Structure 1
Amino acid sequence: MSTDRSALEPVPVAEIEPSRLMGDELGHFMLVYKFGLAEIGTKITILSEELTHRGRGNPIEHVSTRLKTVESLTAKARRIGCPLTLEAVRDRIRDIAGVRVVCSFVSDVYTVAEMLTRQQDVTLLQTKDYIAEPKANGYRSLHLIVEIPVFLSDRVVAVPVEVQLRTVAMDFWASLEHKIHYKYERDVPAALRDELAATAADAAHLDERMERLHAQIHGPRP
């Protein structure tokens, strides 16, 4: 049984329209991403439990997953100028399935990312390091697009999943920033944007100080 990287659907040509939202083709398309999300989630759970069992401190604070709704997927496709076909969506939108991993320290973010991506059946497709190079608004996180095989009844499908790794401080800031943008419908006043950028810098400084304190008390993580 070979891995099919070329198609998540045999004939991915149906438009994503309201009249087809419950159609078998679209339903199966989304189901495959759900399976990919479950595969990655299981791998992260295993890592977390194993690291806890070792007794050296688990770097993973908590994990959350999300699968885009058809409405959200359609809105993004239109926003980026992606044709509303399953084939185009599969090729151009790589964050249909997403996992967020919140870690204790910045070093833990990179450690967990390395542990995950060195597994033989996880293929790293793309890395966006917004910790090393934060976004203009102050957003910091490590984004990975990985590909995971999903074993179906008649074939193996390679499914892309977005993995976001960040610290508790980064996660708190991102959650607040998202709520503010939602309230102002993305038209955030300039003064508030400046304040958000300043608090992002404060969060980064907090991460640095906590990292130093941890190293002083426990030494660097193995």
Structure 2
Amino acid sequence: MQQYKYNIQCDTLTPEQEFYQESYVFLEGAIIEVLSRLEIIRKYKLTKGLNDPIEHCKARIKSAESMKEKLKRKELSVTVSNALTQIFDAAGIRIICTFLDDIYWIVDMLKNQEDFEVIEEKDYIRNPKPNGYRSYHLILKVPLHLEDHIQNVYCELQIRTIAMDCWASLEHQMKYKKDITCPDMITAELKRCADEMASTDLNFQTILDMIKVNAMKL
């Protein structure tokens, strides 16, 4: 995922703009809407003297090539309509947190936004995948208020700690490298590291909670 940058001026169309056509603007809008909502909440917490729950965010619009492959894999016609209504991750945001509790705070905050509708959620932190993958996934339906109507756009969010993000990045490289000679050994080592990182994340949260309790006694 590359850092998302909004740029309304383009001399030539990218493959994504050519594929999504005018709907590309809707995907950008959904990302901007969610990121703006997160930024306001972050700043509000800081004014209260509380810690920022977000380390950083990354966002992307799914590449035309990846979207076409996914549509074919699901035996759907390769159309913009199917890309936006049958596939939910054309617009995606990754939110990186420092501590475990920050993840669940962000999830609750997003679910409390009255105009965001949660379409799907999967807690891969409490219920990790067999390979060790951990993250919290949300699919939101985000309303964009246009001149004459409201356009609803799906946006996928992956919320995870720094350790989880490092692991996922490494696992992603493993998945798409075709010349690896010892995949089983690397897969087993990744699973071991995932479990150790999960334990470390839990320890960090426990230490933070202890610090907060002691600070309240002073």
CA deviations on 1:28-79 (whole Å, 9 max, x unpaired) are 1222111111111111111122212221211111111111121221111112
Are the equivalent residues in 2 in contact too, given 1:83–1:89 (CA < 8 A)?
A: no
Are the equivalent residues in 2 in contact too, given 1:99–1:163 (CA < 8 A)?
A: yes
| TM-score (ref. length: structure 1) | 0.83
1:104 Cα deviation from its structure 2 partner:
1.4
Could you say if the C-alpha distance between residues 156 and 208 of structure 1 is closer, same or farther in structure 2, counting changes exceeding 3 Å? same
Query: Could you say which residue in structure 2 is the equivalent of 1:13?
Result: none
Are the equivalent residues in 1 in contact too, given 2:139–2:155 (CA < 8 A)?
A: yes
Could you say if the C-alpha distance between residues 187 and 162 of structure 1 is closer, same or farther in structure 2, counting changes exceeding 3 Å? farther
Query: Could you say which residue in structure 1 is the equivalent of 2:137?
Result: 143
Note if 1:95 corresponds to 2:89: yes
Q: Please point out which of 39, 49, 53 is paired with 1:55.
A: 49
1:144 Cα deviation from its structure 2 partner:
0.3
| Partner SS state of residue 95, structure 1 | coil
Q: Please point out which of 30, 38, 41 is paired with 2:32.
A: 38
Query: Could you say which residue in structure 2 is the equivalent of 1:67?
Result: 61
1:183 Cα deviation from its structure 2 partner:
2.4
Amino acid at match of 2:200: L
Could you say if the C-alpha distance between residues 21 and 162 of structure 1 is closer, same or farther in structure 2, counting changes exceeding 3 Å? closer
Aligned length: 200
Note if 1:183 corresponds to 2:155: no
| Partner SS state of residue 36, structure 2 | helix
Note if 1:154 corresponds to 2:148: yes
| In 2: Cα distance, 1:40 partner to 1:186 partner | 38
Structure 2: segments with no counterpart, 5+ residues: 1-14
Structure 1: segments with no counterpart, 5+ residues: 1-17
Amino acid at match of 1:92: Q
> Highest relative contact order (Cα 8 Å, sep 6+), 1 or 2?
1
| In 2: Cα distance, 1:21 partner to 1:112 partner | 31
Q: Please point out which of 210, 214, 218 is paired with 2:204.
A: 210
Over aligned residues, Cα RMSD in angstroms? 2.1
| Partner SS state of residue 125, structure 1 | strand
Query: Could you say which residue in structure 2 is the equivalent of 1:165?
Result: 159
Are the equivalent residues in 1 in contact too, given 2:17–2:24 (CA < 8 A)?
A: no
Could you say if the C-alpha distance between residues 105 and 158 of structure 1 is closer, same or farther in structure 2, counting changes exceeding 3 Å? same
| TM-score (ref. length: structure 2) | 0.85
Are the equivalent residues in 1 in contact too, given 2:124–2:134 (CA < 8 A)?
A: yes
Q: How many percent identity over aligned positions?
A: 34
